[in-house]
Amino acid sequence: MTKTLLSFGHGYSAKALSALLIPQGWRVIGTTRSADKAEALRATGVEPLIFPGDDVDAAMDAATHVLISAGPDADGDPVLRAVGDQIRARAGRFDWVGYLSTTGVYGDHGGGWVDEETPLVPSTRRGQWRRDAEAAWAAIPDLPLHIFRLAGIYGPGRGPFAKVRAGTARRIIKPNQVFSRIHVEDIAQVLAASIARPAPGTAYNVCDNDPAPPEDVIEHAAHLLGLPIPPAEDFETAEMTPMARSFYAESKRVRNNRIKDALGVELIYPSYKEGLAALLRHPE
């Protein structure tokens, strides 16, 4: 039987995973919202499915594995809203189901360490939606669910270099502010490792080894480009949108031991320094 991944919300991380799976003979069906995006997916070897819109029953009947990347909103998880009954009816037939969540579910820890056993006490609305979506998926009987709590994602097309070159990068300084990050290629290899070693009911933190202040990343990017380091701006007085300011509401260091110990993952980019160097060599 052909291994078939049905990917709901086939975005940045899912595309990196499909780039690993398709050469291995996998069939990948990815949902998207527009015909233009569907054609772009088709060009990469992914079978596009307009969602909502197209009938997904045939795709779910074919799927051996399911990945959910679509983000929740105030009304809950959009996939469960649209096809929750169909998924529940097939729950025991899937070999593996992965849900892409966020480390935002842990809330603020004042720069302290968190792991997968840390209580989920998100302090932002988006984090609360993710926590609730995790719980909704976990409540489905017999579903072989794996939860992946992703740190800040970067990779080709998503790095600081464009803003540094344009002179629009900002070094916002907030004492004791640290973030964890993950390169999209490492997300893909973690997901592939989990597919190879399924452990239903397990949550994994997906981040690199080096949580760091955001201003350090911008400084390093400027150094790599040989450009001036953007001036420091105090968080309290800096002009920022509410969305931008909300990213500074939580500070924590995220442990990634489980992906190494349980899945045998060796990170391609163990810190932002290796990741940024690679992006500079291969920007796309």
Grouping H, G, I as helix, E, B as strand and the rest as coil, residue 254 is strand
Residue 123 within any structural domain of the chain:
yes
CATH number of residue 95's parent domain: 3.40.50.720
Residue 60 within any structural domain of the chain:
yes
CA distance 41 to 249: 35
Cα torsion through 211, 213, 217, 222, rounded to 10: -160
Residue 54, pLDDT above cutoff 80 = no
Residue 62 within any structural domain of the chain:
yes
Kindly state the tokens that stand for 167: 């002179």
Mode of pairing for the β-strands spanning 145-150 and 253-254:
unpaired
Residue 13 within any structural domain of the chain:
yes
Mind listing the pLDDT tens digit for each residue in 20-40?
A: 999 999 999 999 988 888 888
Mode of pairing for the β-strands spanning 171-173 and 232-234:
parallel
Residue 230 within any structural domain of the chain:
no
Residue 52 within any structural domain of the chain:
yes
Residue 168 within any structural domain of the chain:
no
- Beta-carbon-side half-sphere exposure of residue 227 (alpha carbons within 13 Å): 18
Mind listing the pLDDT tens digit for each residue in 221-276?
A: 999 999 999 999 999 999 989 888 888 989 999 999 999 999 999 999 999 999 99
Mind listing the pLDDT tens digit for each residue in 177-218?
A: 999 999 999 999 999 999 999 999 999 999 999 999 999 999
Domain that holds residue 90: 4-153+181-207+253-268
CA distance 66 to 81: 16
Percentage helix, strand, coil, to 5, in the chain?
40, 20, 40
Kindly state the tokens that stand for 30: 């990815």
Per-residue model confidence (pLDDT) at position 249? 87
Counted domains in the chain: 1
Kindly state the tokens that stand for 173: 């300084």
Residue 77 within any structural domain of the chain:
yes
